[in-house]
């Protein structure tokens, strides 16, 4: 880092205004002038700081791009005063993009002395979640690919002079007060290279960059900053070059989603240690001078709830600009109370009005009291406006009668009428109080409670709403603005007598099943097949981090569980028609409804495997358990399972663990056995895997397996698949099963068996256990023992195992 001693850089973590190059460029030019006065060598601005990053098809508006290009020039001119500036913006080249329109690039301009030194084009472009860089921008990677292709086409020959991305990535030498410094400038995703075929940072470091700048427009998401520190650390352990990350602040949006940028710009030394970390959401330039004795600082303390709330504040601020007041329907429930308190915290109490809208006698004295109390605690204007007369007028006009679902929805829409009319009368907005669980299952009324300018809680499950309520009380207002009885009460929409929300939301300290179901479907891309499988094998509570006993308390029996699962999956899929028309939702989680989760109006679908599992678990069915060692799984295993899976309702494949008394049989690690099992049998229908022996490194004897499956499938007839050799001598009590297996004679008499008979091992019916069937297989050459022997002797095994397994064994050097 000696080369950099005395170099002064400034990180301008600006709040980019999307779609407003006029405002952004004016700010940039001012900051350049001001940095020069402070003696800065290089000032760095974030990615797409002239235009904003999430501006949709504005990038396709030629006149808009013309305007930005002119302003780029003005920024370059501003460096004439003798400073280097790096800023993210659009550039355009004289060729067509893949949509047939002018080709534009997501670029970093490096300018000094009024001249452009380089225009660096983004190499790796994200196309997941809300990102679709490849829609708008032609990447450096494609340029390299195209050049290669153009050359080879015109030349006709191949294999010469070919180029790829790495040839197009080069450090730029710039003059500074400490002499020439070679800088590598990359954009955002370029540093998150792990899943790409290229690593721009590494290439630039290899080509001699003294310093890498990454200019980003990188949204805040849950625990992302932790991940970034780790990614940089890993990168630099290989590249050993100081690394500067500059990110913007402010919120941008896709209409359906509000995306928050936290800044948190950071300077890392060549070991990935932090030299400077700019505070999140602070939009200013921060100066730094490289010195020989620059010591790493401690990472900023990260508190998940605090970070989450900071993101909420940023998003809400962007949606309710200065001068706009907001109405909130305050019911006395936790969602509306939390929304109201949050709005007051962000906008100030003068800008928030609460309206309580009771219907006849449906609203309890308790919720009415809480609503009044919350408003009073917040010091905001509070009005009570009954909806009864509006509901009656609608009922009279349409014949919708009380005690019907339609009548409940009329009530919800009547409340919207009041909020909408009030808001419009005064030029204000009204807010939507829906949380993520309600949005997920369509638990709300379109044009009713699912209405408003913005749904600040739309990406929080109920437990998170409670955490935020608590945070508002304890850390923001530092008093009980929201009474604990509000936070803890059982949620209800109060649209009919005795109504309660049909969800297990958990509470402040305990996760709720339906909360976590929503997270599984959204953040973790699971579906009911997975949930049902985990339920059956008894790990669902562990996977969803639910308290033990949660499911048993909710669903006394399996039929109830499955019915609830199907019901809400159908609701989850069908209610997308409501989400199509729902208000903007912020992104806080790993995946939020809106643009972040891309959905389509489709009829609900249950996978074949779900239906198989459902049948096996709730109705009388025939289940076969295949519990072989499968070490490794061979073609004959596959043939047997294929045959069986067609003839039973469910085949359970459960590779047996290593017996504590035979540790020598642990030829390879369990993880390899898991992968090979899935490779061999993964595409079979009617099949479920029970990998608990491998996962927990235990050996479950057959009688315990039986007990387990008996419990999981109480209505099933359960068969165990065993080789004919294991029953030899059975008539005289001398079979392997009877002699060596735990509780041998008991299971011999008590369990059902399918016995595999093949030319090398014919079964004498007299040896068979009392409850057994025989499965005859023609060709069964090759036991696992034989395969292992051959591998040891470097002989081919392709006649014995599936091709994927052969490749895996060779590649991982197993059984050696």
61, 303, 760, 773: residue in contact with its own copies (rule CB under 8 A): 61
3, 77, 166, 222: residue in contact with its own copies (rule CB under 8 A): 166
Both tokens of 303, joined, read 């508190």
188, 191, 457, 582: residue in contact with its own copies (rule CB under 8 A): 582
Residue 168 found at the interface with its own copies (CB under 8 A): no
Residues 711-770 that bind its own copies (CB under 8 A): none
Residue 99 found at the interface with its own copies (CB under 8 A): yes
Give 422 or 477: the residue with its C-beta nearer to its own copies: 422
Stretch that binds its own copies, among 265-273, 446-454, 623-631, 702-710 (CB under 8 A): 446-454
Cα distance between residue 433 and residue 19, in whole Å = 29
Helices (H) then strands (E): counts for the chain: 30, 25
Stretch that binds its own copies, among 149-157, 229-237, 260-268, 544-552 (CB under 8 A): 149-157
Give 196 or 288: the residue with its C-beta nearer to its own copies: 196
- Is 47:215 a contact under the CB 8 Å cutoff? yes
Residue 224 found at the interface with its own copies (CB under 8 A): no
Kindly state the helix (H) or strand (E) to which residue 69 belongs, with its residue range.
helix 62-78
CB of 150 to its own copies, least distance (A): 7
274, 310, 420, 570: residue in contact with its own copies (rule CB under 8 A): 420
Beta strands at 772-776 and 752-757: parallel, antiparallel or unpaired: parallel
115, 404, 474, 697: residue in contact with its own copies (rule CB under 8 A): 404
Give 253 or 702: the residue with its C-beta nearer to its own copies: 253
- Is 651:645 a contact under the CB 8 Å cutoff? yes
462-471 helix and 304-319 helix, angle to the nearest 10 degrees: 90
CB of 453 to its own copies, least distance (A): 7
Residue 57 found at the interface with its own copies (CB under 8 A): yes
Residue 18 found at the interface with its own copies (CB under 8 A): yes
Q: Is 232 helix (H, G, I), strand (E, B) or coil?
A: helix
Cα distance between residue 427 and residue 676, in whole Å = 64
How many Cβ atoms from other residues are within 10 Å of residue 244's Cβ? 23
Give 134 or 284: the residue with its C-beta nearer to its own copies: 134
CB of 2 to its own copies, least distance (A): 29
Cα distance between residue 356 and residue 358, in whole Å = 6
DSSP 730-763: GGGT-SHHHHHSTTHHHHHHHSEEEEEEBTTB--
Residue 62 found at the interface with its own copies (CB under 8 A): yes
The distance from CA 625 to its chain's CA centroid, rounded to whole angstroms, is: 35
Residue 477's closest CA among 387, 563, 597, 348?
A: 348
30, 38, 70, 226: residue in contact with its own copies (rule CB under 8 A): 70
Cis peptide before 632 (omega within 30 of 0): yes
Give 320 or 780: the residue with its C-beta nearer to its own copies: 320
Stretch that binds its own copies, among 408-416, 650-658, 703-711, 737-745 (CB under 8 A): 408-416
Residue 134 found at the interface with its own copies (CB under 8 A): yes
Residue 157 found at the interface with its own copies (CB under 8 A): no
Residue 368's closest CA among 353, 386, 344, 347?
A: 386
Stretch that binds its own copies, among 238-246, 264-272, 385-393, 692-700 (CB under 8 A): 385-393
DSSP 128-144: STT--HHHH---HHHHH
The residue whose two tokens read 């499950």 is 461
Give 162 or 302: the residue with its C-beta nearer to its own copies: 162
Cα distance between residue 258 and residue 130, in whole Å = 10
User: Strand ranges (DSSP E) for 269-325?
Assistant: 274-277, 285-289
Give 97 or 655: the residue with its C-beta nearer to its own copies: 97
Residue 660 found at the interface with its own copies (CB under 8 A): no
Residues 452-511 that bind its own copies (CB under 8 A): 453
Kindly state the helix (H) or strand (E) to which residue 90 belongs, with its residue range.
strand 84-96
Residue 64 found at the interface with its own copies (CB under 8 A): yes
* Percent composition of the chain: helix, strand, coil (DSSP 3-state, to 5): 40, 20, 40
CB of 168 to its own copies, least distance (A): 13
Give 22 or 799: the residue with its C-beta nearer to its own copies: 22
Residue 811 found at the interface with its own copies (CB under 8 A): no
Stretch that binds its own copies, among 81-89, 152-160, 498-506, 702-710 (CB under 8 A): 152-160
Stretch that binds its own copies, among 60-68, 481-489, 560-568, 724-732 (CB under 8 A): 60-68
Residues 241-260 that bind its own copies (CB under 8 A): 252-256
**CA dist 149 to 94, 131, 140, 153, 155, Å?**
18, 27, 14, 6, 10
Residue 403 found at the interface with its own copies (CB under 8 A): no
CB of 197 to its own copies, least distance (A): 4
Structural Rg of the chain based on CA atoms: 33
**CA dist 370 to 332, 470, 481, 485, 487, Å?**
5, 16, 10, 8, 10
297, 302, 580, 704: residue in contact with its own copies (rule CB under 8 A): 580
156, 399, 549, 556: residue in contact with its own copies (rule CB under 8 A): 399
Give the residues across from 44 on adjacent strands: 11, 86
Give 421 or 553: the residue with its C-beta nearer to its own copies: 421
Residue 447 found at the interface with its own copies (CB under 8 A): yes
- 377 DSSP 8-state letter: H
The count of chain residues that interact with its own copies, using the rule CB under 8 A, is 128
Residues 605-624 that bind its own copies (CB under 8 A): 605, 607-610
User: Strand ranges (DSSP E) for 427-584?
Assistant: 429-430
Residues 309-338 that bind its own copies (CB under 8 A): 319
Both tokens of 331, joined, read 């019911």
CA atoms within 13 A on the CB side of 780: 18
Give 211 or 414: the residue with its C-beta nearer to its own copies: 414
Residues 671-690 that bind its own copies (CB under 8 A): 682-685
Cα distance between residue 288 and residue 507, in whole Å = 46
Residue 384 found at the interface with its own copies (CB under 8 A): no
3, 34, 119, 196: residue in contact with its own copies (rule CB under 8 A): 196
Residues 424-443 that bind its own copies (CB under 8 A): 424-425
Give 302 or 393: the residue with its C-beta nearer to its own copies: 393
Cα distance between residue 778 and residue 689, in whole Å = 26
30, 38, 96, 376: residue in contact with its own copies (rule CB under 8 A): 96
Beta strands at 585-586 and 622-626: parallel, antiparallel or unpaired: unpaired
Both tokens of 654, joined, read 């459960």
132, 170, 470, 621: residue in contact with its own copies (rule CB under 8 A): 132
Residue 75 found at the interface with its own copies (CB under 8 A): no
Residue 302 found at the interface with its own copies (CB under 8 A): no
Give the residues across from 623 on adjacent strands: 650, 718
């Amino acid at each position: 880092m000696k080369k950099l001693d005395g170099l002064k850089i400034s990180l301008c973590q600006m709040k980019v205004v999307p779609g407003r190059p006029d405002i952004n460029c004016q700010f940039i030019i001012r900051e350049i002038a001001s940095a020069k006065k402070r003696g800065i060598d290089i000032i760095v601005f974030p990615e797409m700081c002239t235009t904003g990053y999430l501006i949709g098809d504005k990038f396709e508006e030629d006149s808009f791009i013309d305007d930005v290009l002119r302003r780029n020039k003005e920024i370059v001119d501003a460096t004439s005063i003798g400073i280097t500036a790096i800023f993210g913006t659009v550039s355009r080249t004289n060729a067509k993009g893949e949509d047939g329109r002018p080709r534009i690039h997501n670029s970093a301009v490096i300018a000094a002395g009024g001249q452009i030194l380089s225009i660096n084009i983004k190499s790796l472009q994200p196309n997941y979640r809300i990102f679709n860089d490849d829609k708008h921008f032609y990447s450096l990677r494609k340029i390299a690919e195209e050049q290669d292709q153009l050359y080879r086409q015109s030349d006709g020959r191949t294999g010469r002079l070919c180029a790829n991305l790495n040839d197009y990535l080069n450090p730029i030498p710039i003059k500074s007060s400490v002499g020439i410094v070679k800088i590598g400038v990359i954009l955002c995703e370029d540093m998150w290279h792990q899943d790409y075929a290229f690593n721009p940072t590494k290439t630039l470091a290899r080509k001699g960059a003294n310093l890498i700048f990454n200019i980003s427009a990188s949204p805040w998401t849950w625990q992302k900053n932790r991940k970034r520190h780790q990614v940089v650390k890993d990168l630099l352990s290989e590249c050993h070059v100081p690394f500067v990350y500059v990110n913007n602040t402010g919120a941008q949006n896709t209409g359906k989603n509000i995306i928050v940028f936290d800044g948190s710009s950071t300077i890392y030394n060549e070991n990935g240690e932090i030299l400077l970390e700019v505070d999140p959401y602070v939009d200013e330039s921060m100066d730094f001078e490289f010195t020989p004795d620059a010591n790493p600082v401690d990472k900023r303390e990260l508190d998940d709830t605090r970070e989450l709330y900071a993101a909420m504040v940023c998003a809400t601020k962007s949606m309710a600009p200065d001068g706009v007041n907001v109405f909130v329907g305050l019911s006395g429930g936790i969602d509306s109370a939390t929304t109201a308190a949050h709005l007051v915290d962000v906008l100030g109490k003068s800008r928030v009005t609460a309206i309580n809208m009771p219907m006849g006698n449906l609203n309890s004295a308790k919720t009415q009291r809480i609503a009044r109390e919350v408003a009073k605690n917040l010091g905001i204007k509070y009005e009570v406006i009954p909806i009864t007369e509006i509901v009656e007028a609608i009922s009279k006009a349409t014949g919708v009668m009380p005690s019907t679902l339609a009548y409940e929805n009329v009530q919800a829409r009547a409340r919207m009428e009041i909020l909408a009319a009030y808001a419009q009368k005064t030029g204000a907005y009204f807010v939507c109080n829906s949380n993520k669980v309600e949005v997920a299952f369509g638990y709300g009324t379109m044009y009713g409670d699912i209405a408003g300018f913005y749904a600040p809680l739309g990406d929080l499950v109920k437990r998170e709403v409670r955490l935020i309520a608590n945070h508002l009380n304890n850390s923001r207002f530092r008093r009980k603005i929201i009474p604990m009885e509000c936070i803890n009460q059982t949620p209800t929409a109060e649209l009919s007598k005795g109504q309660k929300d049909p969800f297990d939301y958990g509470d402040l300290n305990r996760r709720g099943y339906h909360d976590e179901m929503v997270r599984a479907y959204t953040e973790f891309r699971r579906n009911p097949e997975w949930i049902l499988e985990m339920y059956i094998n008894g790990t669902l509570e562990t996977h969803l981090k639910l308290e033990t006993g949660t499911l048993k308390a909710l669903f006394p029996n399996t039929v109830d569980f499955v019915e609830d699962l199907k019901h809400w999956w159908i609701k989850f899929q069908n209610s997308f028609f409501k989400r199509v028309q729902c208000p903007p939702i912020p992104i806080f989680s790993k995946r939020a409804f809106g643009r972040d989760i891309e959905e389509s109006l489709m009829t609900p679908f249950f996978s074949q495997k779900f239906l198989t599992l459902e049948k096996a678990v709730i109705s009388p069915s025939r289940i076969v358990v295949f519990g072989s060692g499968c070490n490794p799984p061979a073609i004959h295993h596959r043939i047997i399972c294929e045959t069986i899976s067609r003839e039973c309702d469910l085949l359970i494949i459960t590779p047996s663990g290593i017996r504590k008394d035979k540790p020598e049989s642990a030829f390879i690690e369990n993880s390899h056995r898991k992968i090979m099992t899935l490779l061999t049998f993964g595409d079979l229908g009617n099949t479920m895997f029970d990998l608990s022996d491998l996962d927990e490194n235990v050996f479950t004897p057959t009688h315990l397996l039986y007990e387990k499956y008996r419990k999981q499938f109480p209505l099933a007839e359960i068969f165990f698949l065993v080789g004919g050799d294991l029953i030899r001598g059975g008539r005289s009590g001398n079979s392997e099963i009877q002699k060596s297996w735990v509780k041998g004679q008991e299971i011999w008499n008590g369990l059902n068996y399918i016995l595999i008979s093949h030319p090398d091992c014919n079964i004498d019916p007299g040896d068979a256990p009392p409850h057994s069937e025989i499965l005859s297989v023609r060709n069964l050459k090759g036991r696992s023992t034989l395969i292992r022997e051959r591998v040891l002797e470097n002989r081919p095994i392709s006649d014995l195992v599936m091709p994927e397994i052969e490749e895996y064994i060779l590649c991982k050097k197993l059984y050696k």
